[in-house]
Amino acid sequence: MHKNKNLLAIVFLLTFSAGAFFFVAGADAAQSTGLQYTLLEKIPGTDGLGSDLPGYLKALYKFALITIVLSAVFMLSIGGFFYLTSAGNTSALSTAKSIIFDSLIGLTIALAAFLILNVINPDLVNVSINGLSPVAQPTTPTTGPSPAPVAGGCTGCVPITGIASKPIGVGCAAPGPCQLNKSLLDKLNAIRSPHTLQVNESWPPTVPHDSSCHSNGTCADIDLQSNTTSVPIISSTYAAIKAAGLDVVYETFDSCDAYKAAGVNCKRFNTTTGAHFHVQ
């Protein structure tokens, strides 16, 4: 029974240590943006850790390792005490040696778990949890007065038909109707893409723009109804827009590196209408 208990303790230490290293090593691959939070209670002995998911997992591992080491030292002390007080008693001496040996074995397993997993397969200690990246929240239309139409009006414009368009108050300023230059609208309707597009900023514009063409309806912002930012989908849609004879720039909050590598003319832009294609 005594041996079974010792074996059970060793198995527990191995499993717990391996699991801790497994998650701690993988935590460094996480994108901590959107995973910030404040702990109600700090994990003992882990000041400065635990403000995000990777830090929290590291704090758990640090606490677990401290607990294991202290437990091993405590059991070593008990074994040493039994050894010193055995007074030649063979049974007591054997028990003391067993406690000391089991404590050393458990401590060794705990400290060697990461090395063992890394030697077997480095992928076991490199778990990716990038899927926890934050989800962009849709912008809520303002209820205040919309910007007045720009003086001079829309040049050669007609109400938007064919391509989907966001409604008045969201896709264009009230009182509408949402319009675009006819030549631009014809090219938008000529886009051949397997992904459904929609106009999310037409004339009259809902917000001020750096590009003056928004003031006369000769350019527009369009996006994918799926709201995806997948590089392959953005790249193929970009190519379809260019094939329709339009000048196009993909404007996004995020880094442009991946899009540029895929051949997309991309601009990192603090846009209020979400990631979109600016077409002209």
The larger pLDDT score, comparing residue 148 to residue 86, is at: 86
At 273 the three-state DSSP class reads coil
Looking at residue 149, its pLDDT comes to: 43
Between strands 197-201 and 220-224, the pairing is antiparallel
The owner of tokens 């006819």 is 182
The Cα 277–Cα 280 span in angstroms is 10
The Cα 182–Cα 186 span in angstroms is 6
Looking at residue 118, its pLDDT comes to: 64
The Cα 3–Cα 203 span in angstroms is 81
At 26 the three-state DSSP class reads helix
Looking at residue 37, its pLDDT comes to: 54
Judge contact between 29 and 125, C-beta under 8 A. Answer: no
The CATH class of the 157-279 domain is: alpha beta
Q: Say whether pLDDT at 10 is over 90.
A: no
Q: Which has the minimum average pLDDT: 128-137, 206-215, 242-251? A: 128-137
Confidence grade of residue 160 (pLDDT, cut at 50, 70, 90): very high
Looking at residue 114, its pLDDT comes to: 65
**Segment 55-72, tens digit of pLDDT:** 666 677 777 777 888 888
- In the chain, pLDDT over 90 holds for what percent of residues? 19
The larger pLDDT score, comparing residue 137 to residue 227, is at: 227
Judge contact between 190 and 245, C-beta under 8 A. Answer: yes
Q: Say whether pLDDT at 128 is over 60.
A: no
pTM more than 0.75 = no
User: What own/partner pairs with CB < 8 Å and gap ≥ 24 does 152-156 have?
Assistant: 152/215, 152/216, 153/216, 154/179, 154/180, 154/181, 154/203, 154/204, 154/216, 154/217, 155/181, 155/216, 155/217, 155/218, 156/181, 156/182, 156/183, 156/217
Q: Where are the alpha helices (DSSP H) in 216-271?
A: 231-243, 257-261
